[in-house]
Amino acid sequence: MNQTTLPPAIFLMGPTASGKTDLAAYLYKNLPVELISVDSALVYQEMNIGTAKPNAALLAEAPHALIDIISPTAVYSAAQFRNDALRLMADITSRGKIPLLVGGTMLYFKALENGFSQLPEADAEVRHMIEEEASKVGWPAMHAKLALVDPESAARLQPNDVQRIERALEVYRITGQSMTSLHQATSGDTLPYRLLKLALVPSDRKVLHERIAVRFDHMLADGFVNEVKALVKKYPALTSDSTSMRCVGYRQALEYLAGAYQESELRDRGIFATRQLAKRQLTWLRGMEDLQQIDCLSAEMHQDVFNIVSAFIKGQ
């Protein structure tokens, strides 16, 4: 199908604390768009403060699909996201509206646009967590863990094949699917939409870092630690290895509640982890093609993006 005959869709991407949510709400109120969240943390119910989830008032004014869809004990993969997003986009388009996908989970955006023709790239944070775990229990035990989620791969590997065990576990923890299933059911389907890809990028990284610190302080003041405490009480199965607890800030809060360090160190570690997340998000964006970058620190950001999206909708 010719690009000009494809229905339009918009990606609104950016690092954490870049102002994506408020901008998306503004566009929703002023343009014929409907919003789909692209955020691996916002899918979890009852995880509101630490994920910076839009509050009820904002969601009432500008509804986002794919928020609060699973329990904190469940797993939601990039493949599930792609299926859900494609279904929602088709429905939005059928009603004469334009899907606007907003968030910071770059793996989800990549999966949606390109399918799963390739396995996910290495993730330094996930690998570090696997290596830390292995240092405590040993690689044979990690091989046994792999056998539970990807028995085919485990059967091919010796318990001391560290590199391949680590990669297979990494793939599973990033995608929620085994390496075997991804190899067997790869999909290189291109996205059947005319895409506008917008990236909110800070002109001054230090200002973004300041925003991240201020926001984490607000989370602590709003009761983030009590939120995590309530989650662990309600869901005893939650540990620092749970997918939901690997969201930025939650692992640090669990360690703090376990007595690993004082609240001041929780603050420092939470802010550092969030800044590292922003760094990874910006690295992803640098590797993406056909992006229009907008300075997320500009006072005219909302109007600038409105103008760009309006022209795109009109086909200009």
From the number of C-beta atoms within 10 Å of its C-beta (0-12, 13-18, 19+), residue 290 rates as exposed
Joined tokens for residue 38: 């692209």
Whole-model pTM over 0.85: no
> pLDDT (tens digit, 9 = 90+) per residue, 56-83?
999 999 999 999 999 999 988 888 999 9
Question: What is the dihedral angle through the alpha carbons of 222, 226, 228, 229, rounded to the nearest 10 degrees?
Answer: 180
| Measured distance CA(86)–CA(84) in Å, rounded | 6
The answer on pLDDT for 85 being more than 90 is yes
| pLDDT grade for 48, boundaries at 50, 70 and 90 | very high
Q: Which of 118-122, 126-130, 230-234 has the lowest mean pLDDT?
A: 118-122
Q: Which domains are present in the chain?
A: 3-118+187-313 (3.40.50.300), 124-184 (1.10.20.140)
CB 21 within 8 A of CB 58: yes
Q: What is the pLDDT of residues 302-313, one digit of tens each?
A: 999 999 999 999
* Coil, strand or helix at 153: helix
Quote the pLDDT of residue 8.
97
- Give the pLDDT band of residue 1 (cuts 50, 70, 90): very low
Q: How many CB atoms lie within 10 A of CB 7?
A: 16
